[in-house]
Structure 1
Amino acid sequence: MKNSFLGLCLLFTATTAQAQMTSGLTGKVDTTFSNASAYRQAVKKYPTIELVQEAKLPTVKEKRNIPYCKLGSRVLALDAFYPKKNSIAKLPAILIIHGGGWRSGNRQQHIPLAQRLAGLGYATFTVEYRLSTEALYPAAVHDLKAAVRFIKAHAKKFNLDTTKVTALGFSAGGELAAFMGVTNQNPAFEGESCQGKTGSQVQAVIDLDGTLSFVHPESGEGNDSKNISAATYWFGYPKKENLALWQEASPLTHVGKHTPPFLFINSSVDRMHAGRDDFRKVLYQHSIYSEVHSFPDSPHTFPLFNPWFEPTVQFIDDFLKKVFAEE
């Protein structure tokens, strides 16, 4: 059914789509979304929250600004956090993808989470990817798959178990993490840059309040009546002008038998996890494990703050121990 719908969308789009909008490609960094701006917004309703800060842990080694992909003169980088203590057992890896509406935000926002998870025995990587001020969909997907290939290619350096790689993302990053998981077996989304023989498959996905569909009735994306929406900037088309593209970029479109286990951790803002329940129904049909944890009366930016940060870390650790348990 979903493939038939996508085919109809493609036919419709072929005759109706307008020229792709490039006005959003400003080439300038958008600093609209940051931890500080998120705090200023959230503290109005939640005055007791605390922004989680970076804190170097004595048990964690850090390497920052590691180039993972070069696109002409543009160099994409990531940061690595992993246990100092040498271990015979290889480490599960977690790629952490920031949010910001595919347009703003930066990888430093989730360094506290990366540090905390590294302290629990994971190798974590906060990753930069091209945003919609620089490149349109699917450039970000190509970048993130290249990042997975990079960390797998350097598995020996970080003592990684390349069969235990997780994509973890918040908000727009959650959507991207989900998309990486559902396109594990789809070469159409690998991109042509920074290719290598190493695969980009991930074995688990953690989606922190990221949408599962841009076209689901629950979705809040695509309303351009007051301002151009984040997704419209990313795609370069309003939803009504290129529905097929919006459908293609939705993780719900691709979920199937090759999808890995999923953990959903959600705020009380329902539209931020549009399509989640329908997505889980497909996982269930294929006997693929998933979990949902929701924080009542919480802001969309909950992963940045306590009292939600610590239980989020616990949910992540418990989930990964379960899905990566030794047989």
Structure 2
Amino acid sequence: MNLLFKMSSLLLFVFCCTPNWSQGQTSESTYNIIDIYKATKQNYDSAKMITPLITEDIKYDENIVYKKTRQKKLELDVYSPSKKSKKLMPAVILVHGGGWLTGQKENQRVMAQHLALKGFVGISIAYSLSLEARYPASVFDVKDAIKWVRKNAKKYKINPNQIAVLGADSGGLLATLAGTTSHLKVFSTDDDISEKVQAVINIDGIVSLVHRNAPTENSMASIWLNGSRDKNEKSWMEASPLQYVGEQTPPVLFINGPNPEIHAGKSDMTTLLKIFQTYTETRTIPNAPPAFWLMDPWFDMTLDYSVNFLNKVFGRS
């Protein structure tokens, strides 16, 4: 199959790092921090590796099964501050990128650990990739992860009223979709546990697949959404978070790279959030490479923007 990724240079990068997907292999191990760094270093001399933390200041609880599907067991990692606190802590659920086709929860492990050092409970999750289960499976996975966190809030000393979801690249769309639809039936499930989140962080993620400025050709989205935009526009529209912005949308932080094609509809979403008097921030990191959030010096910038936003939204000093 000939893949022409016009959505962004990041999706091009993902494809280049995933040579076997057309043979039915998920190849999630190829879209990882090490390979991303090696590819980026060829064009960005300032790029530096980020590595997982090993410190007694963090409690590690990894590879916990939060959901079983027909295809696999979905796992998550929980990182929390070791220092005991009388106050309940905010939680941040992290959703990795990879064009819905590849990627792994370990890509967001370093960010989750650094958030733990900042007083949050960082939770990096796996979800169903496109060759395992097509849309809307991954949307329900993210929502089920939110419910798992709320259900286990007491165990991890999480404030159930202070849950944020952070997503990067395609994970940014999933995170934003979860945040804008928690009160709607479109992706609802039958249990009584709330899937509501109190903040969304979108790191270079798409907010509309059908916006007038969005490219009409995106092969990875076509795989995820069971058909091209021309053949299955209903799903493309349904999977676009911009469609659902309203009074109940939580505060949103956009952290953008320089690629304008990724950001179709974000100014529209920002305008709507302001109309509904919902707090929002937009931070742009100029001259950043694809997947900038997985390498220094851009990782530190992404972390700082995220922590400052969450502290403001959750009223933390």
TM-score by length of 1: 0.86
CA contact (8 A) 2:169 2:204 kept: yes
CA contact (8 A) 2:226 2:232 kept: no
SS at structure 1 position matched to 2:115 = helix
Q: 1:95 to 1:234 in 2, by over 3 A?
A: same
CA contact (8 A) 1:57 1:119 kept: no
Instruction: Name the aligned partner's letter for residue 44 of structure 2.
Output: Y
1:300 counterpart = 2:311? no
- The 5 Å alignment of 1:25-174 reads 26=24, 28-72=26-70, 74-174=72-172
Residue in 2 that maps onto 1:207:
202
The structure with more radius of gyration? 1
Residues in 1 aligned to 2:70 and 2:128: alpha-carbon distance in whole angstroms:
13
1:223 counterpart = 2:254? no
Using the TM superposition, give the Cα deviation of residue 71 of structure 1 relative to its aligned residue in structure 2, in angstroms: 2.4
Q: 1:326 to 1:51 in 2, by over 3 A?
A: closer
1:211-269: CA deviation from partner (whole Å, max 9, x where unpaired) = 0111123324x426xxxx11000001111111121011101111111100000111111
Residues in 1 aligned to 2:69 and 2:27: alpha-carbon distance in whole angstroms:
17
Using the TM superposition, give the Cα deviation of residue 147 of structure 1 relative to its aligned residue in structure 2, in angstroms: 0.6
Unaligned runs of 5+ in 2: 1-20
Residue in 2 that maps onto 1:239:
229
Using the TM superposition, give the Cα deviation of residue 73 of structure 1 relative to its aligned residue in structure 2, in angstroms: 6.6
CA contact (8 A) 1:26 1:134 kept: no
CA contact (8 A) 2:210 2:236 kept: yes
Residue in 1 that maps onto 2:239:
249
Residues in 2 aligned to 1:285 and 1:300: alpha-carbon distance in whole angstroms:
32
Residues in 2 aligned to 1:28 and 1:304: alpha-carbon distance in whole angstroms:
20
Residues in 2 aligned to 1:249 and 1:276: alpha-carbon distance in whole angstroms:
15
CA contact (8 A) 1:91 1:121 kept: yes
Residue in 2 that maps onto 1:177:
175
1:273 counterpart = 2:268? no
Using the TM superposition, give the Cα deviation of residue 300 of structure 1 relative to its aligned residue in structure 2, in angstroms: 2.4
Residues in 1 aligned to 2:104 and 2:85: alpha-carbon distance in whole angstroms:
31
**Residue 190 of structure 1, aligned match among 171, 188, 191:** 188
TM-score by length of 2: 0.89
1:163-217: CA deviation from partner (whole Å, max 9, x where unpaired) = 00001000000010010111010132034xxx64211110100000000111123
CA contact (8 A) 2:250 2:278 kept: yes
- Which of 309-318 and 70-79 deviates more? 70-79
- The 5 Å alignment of 1:303-322 reads 303-322=293-312
Q: 1:123 to 1:53 in 2, by over 3 A?
A: same
Q: 1:40 to 1:160 in 2, by over 3 A?
A: same
Give the total of aligned pairs: 297
CA contact (8 A) 1:24 1:233 kept: no
Instruction: Name the aligned partner's letter for residue 162 of structure 1.
Output: P
Using the TM superposition, give the Cα deviation of residue 316 of structure 1 relative to its aligned residue in structure 2, in angstroms: 0.9
Q: 1:326 to 1:106 in 2, by over 3 A?
A: closer
Q: 1:30 to 1:314 in 2, by over 3 A?
A: closer
Residues in 2 aligned to 1:326 and 1:51: alpha-carbon distance in whole angstroms:
30
CA contact (8 A) 1:205 1:260 kept: yes
**Shift >6 Å, 4+ stretches:** none
Instruction: Name the aligned partner's letter for residue 278 of structure 2.
Output: I
Identity %: 34
Residues in 2 aligned to 1:259 and 1:118: alpha-carbon distance in whole angstroms:
26
CA contact (8 A) 2:164 2:199 kept: yes
Structural RMSD (CA): 1.9
Residues in 2 aligned to 1:211 and 1:66: alpha-carbon distance in whole angstroms:
29
